[in-house]
Structure 1
Amino acid sequence: MMQWTIAELAARFHASLSGDDRTIVTHLCTLEEGSKGGLSFFSTPSYAAALYQTKASAVLVPKEWQCSLPITPTLLAVVDPYAAFCALVEEVAQKKIAVKEGIEFPSYIGEGTTVGENSYRGAFSYIGNHVVIGERVQIYPHVYIGDHVTIGADTILYSGAKVAAYTVIGRKCVLHAAAVVGNPGFGFQTLASGGYKRIPSIGRVVLADEVEIGAHTVIDAAMVGQTAIGQGSKIDNLVQVAHNVKIGKYGGIAAQVGIAGSTKIGDYCRLGGQTGIAGHLTLGNHVTALGRAGITRSFPKGAITLSGTPAFEHKRFLSCYARFKNLAKPLQT
């Protein structure tokens, strides 16, 4: 069990203290689920009611925060409460989740495959032929890795992840449960009869260093060439990335986003949940799409926030929507 004193935390985060510095913190919690011994954080004014009602023993608050009502927990005023709280979450996670090593049986490894030192291979994992796996890679049970795959050091593949042949995965990547990387793309040739003939995907997927892929997310292999995800990009659960898509570095893509084939997305882009992007488009750097945006044309200059369907600049969308929602008023009797 983790345990800190308020005095220790105040020194660690250079916090101003309001309350008893002898208070003992035994666990982390939300404001709403706070209990004795719990430490929470407060960083958004909309949670002020929860702050005054919490039963947590201590709360991290912003330096500039001034309480307007009596409050029970000890307060630690820090520059960034959320960052401080996340640092403690990470510390707890490192204690709870032990790094695995060794080989569990049964598991399979193919011919000509090399596995780096201090790696872990879980039970029922399958590794194909001529695979190169770096040091300290964690391969959990029921993972499938096809032939000629390359995986960099310190990468983690959680249970049920699938990696198709010829995929390249960088260092310190994470594939969560049931993620599929390198699945054949949705490519079909329309026949004169009205039927379809599948176009094989003979390209590959390349994930740069520090990419994270959420559970049940699918990244399709390129028809030719490569589907590429840039360094540090984070992709949530249940996302579809189609064949030949290019995503730049440090992107953030929320759940249920769908990106159609051959679209290019720049660096530092943020896509809200259920955003849809048509194929063969270009988004420049620093594009933000709010949830459920439907992007049907290119925004190559970037540096824009989009919303609506078809999506356009967010402030203009709000202005148009204010007029739209009042259109029916003159018709009312």
Structure 2
Amino acid sequence: MTPAVAVSAAPLAFSDRVRVSAPGRLHLGFLDPGASLGRRFGSLGLVVDGHATELELCFAGRNSVEAAPDADAAEVERAAAHLAAMQVHTGLLRPVHLHLFRHLPPHAGLGSGTQLALAVGMAFARLHGLELGAADVARMLGRGLRSGVGIAGFERGGLLLDGGPQSDGRPAAVTARLDFPAEWRVLLVLDPSRRGLSGAQEKQALATLPPFPREYAAELCHRVVMQVLPGVAAADFGCFAEGLNRMQALLGGYFAPAQGGLSYTSPPVDTLMRWIGRHGEAAVGQSSWGPTGFAVLPSAEAAAALLQGARAAGMVAPGLRLQVVQGRNVGADLQILAASAAAACA
């Protein structure tokens, strides 16, 4: 059911723009994909700096979408479809112009689909003065069907835990949210040559896997509640890393049959992440279906040393992109740019 749409303020002026920057997130794992207690999934996620979807929306003489020359054509089409869906859901058909400056890499494990939908939908809501939150927009645009961390991350950032989708179709409720320690760093390992599973392929993969062992779900919940969350809350890196490494080992083994028999979608990422696990004080894993791998480290110095060591050892395959980022403890940035701050839309 579409949420009731209330108008909280007058629409913006014709020449005003709404700018949105929606950060990427890492999906660190599910708690109970098998619904052993009746509620399925439950997700742990972390919002990170360094990658974002950025766009502007304004009123115009006709509906149009403009994108950067290197934008993925499918992402531009999705943005246009989200815009059309918002117009249909709200009944507000005044023409608008969307400028997509950049987007998260699609199907890389950084939450590109949800962040694009929320960026478009929330920009539309602000432009029209609508009382819509991120969860409302997500329901309109069909996002958050398994995990709520992308929606909550858009709103608040940080390390997030949700309890799985709700029975009435609402996105998963957040059960814990913590600031990620500012001194910790995250090494992202991206493989642009590969894409993680999504859509029909993802559903098929989930359907072919065996039942998720209840004892796995019990241990995952135990590790998250008694190691991962307390480790972040107290900035106890060892406690956090032990819990997350065990969590990723269990999940990686379970999902391996859908990933060519590996814990990582990308074999070069698999090789590097296994090396990191043996040579550094790190929490390592794959975000969602990958191919992006990650290594959380206790400091910028530790991240730089690990990166240097991996390159010296010849562990970084050609084509891999490595980037050291921080956790992000705030959500998306939404700004209203008045006519004096931005040129009028064509």
Q: More strand per residue: 1 or 2?
A: 1
Asked whether the two chains share a fold, i.e. TM above 0.5, the reply is no
- Greater relative CO, 1 or 2 (CA 8 Å, sep 6+): 2
Instruction: Output the TM-score relative to the length of structure 2.
Output: 0.26
Instruction: Output the TM-score relative to the length of structure 1.
Output: 0.27
Q: More helix per residue: 1 or 2?
A: 2
